[in-house]
Amino acid sequence: MIAVLGLVVGVVAGLLVRPEVPAVVEPYLPIAVVAALDAVFGGLRAMLDGIFDDKVFVVSFLSNVVVAALIVFLGDKLGVGAQLSTGVVVVLGIRIFSNAAAIRRHVFRA
């Protein structure tokens, strides 16, 4: 419950504060958000499976974000930033879908 509250408060704060995104972070923020979403879905699924662990969640969340940003950064440096970030989004999207399917089976039993 508190976790859900945290998400809601985060969204509200982001909308209210509307901070200028620093130019350095700008290209990585969307990818980082998608990676974090993937971690959250994974964590939700783990919770439903009864194997949730906060330490694992924290590590996976942070590493997801960092690795995604790193890949985009590397891609930018190599000159294939657009393609690599597309690839990252595709992979993360597939994972989010498979996690969502598992969650769906738990919640709706279908």
Partner 1 sequence: MSDKDETPDNGLRRELPKEVAAEVAAEVAAEAAAPTGAAPEESPQLTGRQRLAKGLWPPRVTRAQLIVAVLLFGLGFGLAVQVASNSDSDSALRGARQEDLVRILDELDDRTQRLEDEKQGLETQRDELENSSDQAEEARKQTVEKEKQLGILAGTVAAQGPGITMTIGDTKGTVEADMLLDAIQELRAAGAEAIQVNGVRVVAGTYLADSDKTVSVDGNKINAPYRFKVIGKPQDLEPALNIPGGVVQTLEKEQATVTVEQSDKIVVDALRAAKRPDYARSSSQ
How many residues interact with partner 1 (rule CB under 8 A)?
A: 60
Binders of partner 1 in range 29-48 (CB under 8 A): 29-30, 32-33, 36-40, 42-43, 45-48
Q: Give whichever of 73 and 81 is closer to partner 1, judged by the CB atom.
A: 81
CA distance 68 to 30: 10
Name the 3-class secondary structure at 26. coil
Write the burial class of residue 28 (CB in 10 Å: 0-12 exposed, 13-18 middle, 19+ buried): buried
Q: Is there binding between residue 4 and partner 1 (CB under 8 A)?
A: yes
CA distance 40 to 48: 12
The full length of the chain comes to: 110
Q: Which of 60, 69, 71, 88 lies at the binding interface for partner 1 (CB under 8 A)?
A: 60
Q: Which residues bind partner 1 (CB under 8 A)?
A: 1-15, 18-19, 21, 26-27, 29-30, 32-33, 36-40, 42-43, 45-61, 81-82, 95, 98-99, 102-103, 105-107, 109-110
